[in-house]
């Protein structure tokens, strides 16, 4: 799948978070963070497995107390993905997490400020071959920088990362990735653009504290997708006030939509409905999504409200169904293969999706029901006769538009 970007991806150094390469020519990775108490080993591992199943390549866990560090010692060896320890205020928690075997650290220079402690952590990470993310956050910027730059500006965020990086370099540590997050999408974009010009380290993208969906998803996508389309970014995380599985799923879906990762899961498309729709498109699409999503099939499925234009409009979908006259027209790559009763539409989609992935397009097209296309064409013609070619009355609206414009032009003269 060709990337949906007109800008060549920015070249960065490559680091490794456990088995996951970040930066360089490595695929852009997806991250999320657990919401459990890290001391709850079984609960945290359960969430990590759910995140990995939803598309997370790397998972971060908080390490804010001794019990959390001890929990990491049990979690890391059993995790299906690399674990990063999130550190705030207490450098000894970073040292404890490193002893627990984590594959990465995140340090916030806004709240871990003592130079000697920062260098101690960096030296220990260097000895263990563990990378560190310098995680700058507009909401916790060092007061001195806030004062110097007159607020949390892009320049202030990047300067915070530069100062931390200088401490690391003094102890010979360069295994670093950088984030300069903000809850303002505009500031986040400005800060990452500047960071991409300032550093050659891989960048971790995210709009912090984006809030609950759907607004949080929109803000996260606006910031992350904008930068990815400019070739900026090596790993991403949505920060949502929601189940973190939604973060991992959104990250994966975004990269697939941009052509930056191979499709692993379902991509369901559906028409927004119109005057010709014969079914509750929203309801059927939701039911199909729920039925298919758990199967983790890497296909694009279309749910269309009518048989007049549905198969043609969605001809690029791997599989689809269009409704008409109380029946569903099941199609593969725009070719009708079966006509089923309306109440069997979702079940037929699920059955065919599994067969399509297992057998391939050619085999399923060869197994099409005889006469299915003729039967579907009869339904299409009957619906056209019943509803007319202009079910949305677009032609009448066009005439009104032309009349309005003509009247305005006449008045202007």
- Model confidence at 413, pLDDT cuts 50, 70, 90, reads low
Task: Please tell me the least confidently modeled range out of 101-110, 202-211, 235-244, 341-350.
Answer: 341-350
Q: Residue range 44-59: average pLDDT?
A: 90
Output the pLDDT for position 387. 63
**DSSP H stretches of helix in 114-271:** 115-128, 143-149, 154-170, 185-198, 215-229, 244-257
- Listed by start position, the domains of the chain span 14-257, 267-387
**Structure token pair of residue 54:** 């939803």
Mean pLDDT of the chain: 89
Ranked by mean pLDDT, the top range of 1-5, 18-22, 43-47, 313-317 is 18-22
CA distances from 128 to 44, 105, 169, 321, 407 (A): 24, 12, 16, 54, 77
Structure confidence at residue 181 (pLDDT) = 96
**Lowest-confidence region among 42-46, 61-65, 115-119, 275-279:** 275-279
pLDDT in tens, 216-242: 999 999 999 999 999 999 999 999 999
Confidence of residue 394 (pLDDT cuts 50, 70, 90): low
pLDDT tens digits, one per residue of 118-148: 999 999 999 999 999 999 999 899 999 999 9
Query: Is domain 14-257 given the CATH code 3.20.20.20 in the classification?
Result: yes
CB 176 within 8 A of CB 131: yes
Q: What is the pLDDT of residues 290-331, one digit of tens each?
A: 898 888 888 888 888 776 666 776 777 899 888 877 788 899
Q: pLDDT at position 264, please? A: 75
CATH architecture of 267-387: 2-Layer Sandwich (3.30)
Using the predicted structure, report yes or no on whether residue 166 has a pLDDT greater than 90. Answer: yes
The stretch 2-29 carries a mean pLDDT of 88
Sign of CA dihedral 154, 156, 161, 165: positive
């Amino acid at each position: 799948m060709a990337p949906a970007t007109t800008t060549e991806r920015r070249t960065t150094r490559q680091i490794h978070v456990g088995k996951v390469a970040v930066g360089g020519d490595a695929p852009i990775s997806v991250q999320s963070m657990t919401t459990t108490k890290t001391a709850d080993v079984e609960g945290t591992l359960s969430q990590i497995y759910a995140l990995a199943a939803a598309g997370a390549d790397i998972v971060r866990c908080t390490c804010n107390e001794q019990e959390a560090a001890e929990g990491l010692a049990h979690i890391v060896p059993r995790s299906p993905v690399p674990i990063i320890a999130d550190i705030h205020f207490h450098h000894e928690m970073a040292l404890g997490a490193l002893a627990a075997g984590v594959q990465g650290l995140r340090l916030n220079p806004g709240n871990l400020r003592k130079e000697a402690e920062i260098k101690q952590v960096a030296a220990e990470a260097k000895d263990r071959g563990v990378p560190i993310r310098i995680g700058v956050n507009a909401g916790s910027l060092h007061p001195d920088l806030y004062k110097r730059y007159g607020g949390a500006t892009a320049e202030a965020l990047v300067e915070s990362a530069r100062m931390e990086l200088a401490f690391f370099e003094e102890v010979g540590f360069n295994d670093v990735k950088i984030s300069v997050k903000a809850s303002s999408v505009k500031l986040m974009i400005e800060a990452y653009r500047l960071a991409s010009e300032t550093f050659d380290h891989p960048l971790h993208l995210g709009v912090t504290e984006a809030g609950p969906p759907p607004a949080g998803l929109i803000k996260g996508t606006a910031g992350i997708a904008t930068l990815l389309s400019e070739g900026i970014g090596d790993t991403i995380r949505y920060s949502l006030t929601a189940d973190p599985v939604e973060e991992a799923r959104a990250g994966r879906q975004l990269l697939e939509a941009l052509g930056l990762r191979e499709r692993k899961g379902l991509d369901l498309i559906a028409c927004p409905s119109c005057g010709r729709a014969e079914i509750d498109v929203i309801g059927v699409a939701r039911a199909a999504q729920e039925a298919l999503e758990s199967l983790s099939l890497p296909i694009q499925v279309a749910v269309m409200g009518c048989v007049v234009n549905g198969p043609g409009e969605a001809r690029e979908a791997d599989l689809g169904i269009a409704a008409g006259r109380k029946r569903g027209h099941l199609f593969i790559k725009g070719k009708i293969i079966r006509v089923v009763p309306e109440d069997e539409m979702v079940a037929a989609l699920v059955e065919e999706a599994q067969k399509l992935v297992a057998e391939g397009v050619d085999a399923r097209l060869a197994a099409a029901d005889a006469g299915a296309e003729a039967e579907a064409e009869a339904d299409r013609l009957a619906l056209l006769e019943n509803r007319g070619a202009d079910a949305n009355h677009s032609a009448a609206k066009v005439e009104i538009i032309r009349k309005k414009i003509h009247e305005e032009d006449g008045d202007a003269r």
